[in-house]
């Protein structure tokens, strides 16, 4: 059966208010000139074209999407985009406590919050800033407002935060959060990746030893690669994403659009298709749709070797 490519991750900025040590080599990082970043009207037009080729779900990402001025109006407009059935946001949560009510009013209900430590000193070390309490307050506020699902994405880093696995899991017992553990991907350098990579099977083994086995939960048509489990007595759920150790290629349903307007068929392969040039040179919706179709066509069951040199802050995760 042909894959249904129905999910687009839309990066609206490369700017971020955190400096997570594993995300990129920040000393070499160069931000995009403002004029190179797609304007909101350009992003909305591309979202419309994407809907025309079968995209149903759009996730707004970055950089940190909540630092871009005008993001509320953009999210509201995305909700009005014909053909899209799901609009979600990925954020580091630093501004969530302040912005959750406006995001809710803009129509948003699905938020993923990236959080890799529940310990204040470690969080500060990992992210370069002391915002853990704001992030936790933001999650509480979002839950109280009725955001659902409210997911926490935790990248597991061996020797850095793998002693917090059970604490993260217990957060899903105490709160209605879906806590998802994610394998560390070799985005920048192998030297940094190898010592800190922990396979998801090991994460599951350690959690099973502490909590027992969970009951698997079914998936919907636009669901990502997470395997989700419920545990007795938990308000929330746990999820496991083994992007590196188990290939998801045959079921991968997503495209990625970088803030610079490049369409990426695969997170793990370098080829990107330029959408910004045709967009700014007056291409028709049909022409732009052809670029999306080409990207969909290029998504094959084979995964190319991972090509480093493109950090998550540029792609959007």
22 lines the binding site for ligand SAM (CB under 6 A): yes
Minimum CB separation of residue 262 from ligand SAM in Å reads 16
127 lines the binding site for ligand SAM (CB under 6 A): no
Minimum CB separation of residue 245 from ligand SAM in Å reads 13
Nearer to ligand SAM, 48 or 317 (CB): 317
Interface mask (CB under 6 A) for ligand SAM, residues 155-184, using x and -?
A: x--------------------------x-x
Nearer to ligand SAM, 62 or 225 (CB): 62
Q: Do 282 and 292 meet the contact criterion of CB atoms below 8 Å apart?
A: no
Q: Which helix (H) or strand (E) holds 293?
A: helix 285-298
Nearer to ligand SAM, 23 or 87 (CB): 23
Q: Which helix (H) or strand (E) holds 90?
A: strand 86-91
Which residues are CB-neighbours of 190 under 8 A, at least 6 positions away?
Answer: 308
312 lines the binding site for ligand SAM (CB under 6 A): yes
Residues in binding contact with ligand SAM, number by CB under 6 A: 20
Nearer to ligand SAM, 240 or 291 (CB): 240
114 lines the binding site for ligand SAM (CB under 6 A): yes
Minimum CB separation of residue 79 from ligand SAM in Å reads 20
Q: Which helix (H) or strand (E) holds 180?
A: strand 178-183
> Residue 194 burial (CB < 10 Å; 0-12/13-18/19+)?
exposed
Tokens of 199: 């396979």
List the one residue from 16, 139, 203, 273 that touches ligand SAM (CB under 6 A).
Answer: 16
Nearer to ligand SAM, 18 or 50 (CB): 18
List the one residue from 6, 13, 61, 161 that touches ligand SAM (CB under 6 A).
Answer: 61
Minimum CB separation of residue 111 from ligand SAM in Å reads 10
Ramachandran quadrant class, 134 (left: phi over 0; alpha: psi -120 to 50; beta: rest) = alpha
Minimum CB separation of residue 140 from ligand SAM in Å reads 18
- How far apart are alpha carbons 244 and 200 in whole angstroms? 9
Q: How many helices (H) and strands (E) does the chain have?
A: 11, 12
138 lines the binding site for ligand SAM (CB under 6 A): no
> Residue 227 burial (CB < 10 Å; 0-12/13-18/19+)?
middle
- How far apart are alpha carbons 194 and 198 in whole angstroms? 9
- How far apart are alpha carbons 196 and 30 in whole angstroms? 25
Minimum CB separation of residue 281 from ligand SAM in Å reads 29
- How far apart are alpha carbons 164 and 43 in whole angstroms? 38
Nearer to ligand SAM, 16 or 207 (CB): 16
154: phi then psi, degrees, rounded to nearest 5: -115, 115
List the one residue from 178, 187, 242, 258 that touches ligand SAM (CB under 6 A).
Answer: 187
DSSP letter, residue 245: T
91 lines the binding site for ligand SAM (CB under 6 A): yes
* Binding stretches for ligand SAM (CB under 6 A): 16, 22-23, 61-62, 64, 90-92, 114, 153, 155, 182, 184-185, 187, 312-313, 316-317
């Amino acid at each position: 059966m042909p894959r249904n490519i129905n999910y687009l991750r839309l990066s609206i900025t490369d700017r971020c208010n955190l400096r997570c040590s594993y995300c990129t080599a920040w000393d070499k990082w160069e931000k995009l000139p403002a004029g190179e970043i797609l304007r909101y009207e350009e992003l909305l037009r591309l979202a419309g074209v994407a809907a025309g080729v079968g995209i149903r779900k759009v996730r707004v990402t970055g950089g940190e999407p909540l630092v871009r001025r005008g993001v509320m109006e953009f999210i509201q407009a995305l909700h009005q985009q014909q053909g899209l059935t799901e609009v979600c946001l990925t954020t580091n949560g630093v501004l969530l406590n302040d912005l959750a009510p406006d995001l809710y009013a803009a129509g948003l209900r699905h938020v993923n919050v990236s959080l890799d430590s529940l310990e204040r000193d470690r969080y500060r070390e990992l992210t370069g800033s002391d915002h853990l309490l704001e992030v936790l307050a933001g999650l509480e506020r979002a839950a109280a407002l009725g955001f659902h699902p409210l997911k926490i994405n935790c990248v597991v880093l061996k020797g850095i935060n793998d002693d917090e696995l059970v604490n993260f899991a217990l957060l899903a017992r105490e709160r209605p959060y879906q806590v998802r553990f994610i394998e560390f991907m070799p985005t920048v350098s192998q030297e940094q990746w190898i010592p800190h990579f922990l396979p998801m099977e090991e994460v599951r083994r350690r959690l099973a030893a502490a909590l027992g086995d969970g009951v698997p939960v079914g998936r919907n048509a636009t669901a990502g690669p997470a395997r989700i489990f419920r545990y007795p007595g938990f308000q929330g759920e746990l999820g496991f994403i083994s992007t590196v150790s188990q290939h998801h290629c045959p079921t991968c349903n997503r495209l990625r659009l970088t803030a610079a307007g490049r369409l990426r068929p695969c997170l793990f392969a370098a080829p990107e298709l330029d959408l910004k040039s045709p967009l700014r040179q007056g291409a028709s919706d049909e022409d732009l749709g052809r670029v999306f179709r080409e990207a969909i066509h290029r998504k094959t069951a084979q995964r190319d070797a991972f090509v480093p040199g493109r950090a998550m802050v540029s792609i959007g995760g």
